[in-house]
Amino acid sequence: GESATLPFDEHIDVVKETVAMASGAIPVIAGSGANSTAEAIFLTEQLGAVGVDGFLSVVPYYNKPQQAGMVAHFNAIANASDLPVILYNVPGRTVADMLPETVAELATHKNIVGLKDATGDIARLKQTQPLVPEDFVLLSGDDGSSCEFMCEGGHGVISVTANIAPKMCSDMQKFSKSEDKDEQKKAEEIDKILQPVHKSLFIESNPSPVKYAAKLIGLCDDNVRLPLVTVLEPTKTEVKKALLSANLINE
């Protein structure tokens, strides 16, 4: 998504339209994070009013908050609504890294129910697991390592590639959580097919490559808002090659 370049009124309208289109058939988790706690609370309150089922809230970017600052920030957000909140740790974009001990402290709040971990570090999953309750949801935010993440006890993935290959991503998740060895092997086979797609979608800053991939499969145009721009020709070549290799498009 391009939520970081949407003004608040448009951000709220997009979520409102999404809730209307989902029409209760699937849960809608809305991104309500911001680097200002007051703005994150405002978005949480506004999006809660349009009927979402929960929130995804990112570690504040640019500010580089201390771990204690993260605890105060997310507790304030979780206190602003009775809906569930999923924490989102993506230090590659925010610079600040939420440590497992901080996640464990936040997991004691009744409204904080899970974590999207986009570190791509399986060791981080293993460090977090024993510190949080069994029903605390651990989600990968890194497509490239998501199969291994789930095989190691993670619960799912919030995926970029699923915008382009939803059935394959869904099957990979389902099979990776199976106790059947043959189905686990299927998950590994799908993951192997998708690895070039995962890599191609991050050659340049997300979401520019995935918007181009979406254009190739006929979902939408590849326009993106400044400061991002459409991808360069070499990236287009790699994205197209990856989609062809996964049989997601035809020549």
Q: Which residues are catalytic?
A: 88, 116
What are the residues facing 87 on neighbouring strands? 57, 115
Dmax over CA atoms of the chain, in Å, equals: 53
Tokens of 224: 């993106």
Counting every residue written for the chain, the total comes to 251
Tokens of 26: 């699937």
d(CA 155, CA 114): 10
d(CA 122, CA 169): 19
d(CA 105, CA 107): 5
What phi, psi does 20 have (nearest 5°)? -65, -40
- Strands 112-117, 156-157: pairing is unpaired
Are 200 and 238 within 8 A, CB to CB?
Answer: yes
Residue 23, sorted as left (phi over 0), alpha (psi -120 to 50) or beta, turns out to be: left
User: DSSP assignment of 166-224, as one string?
Assistant: HHHHHHHHHHHT-S-HHHHHHHHHHHHHHHHHHHHTTSSSTTHHHHHHHHHTTS-----
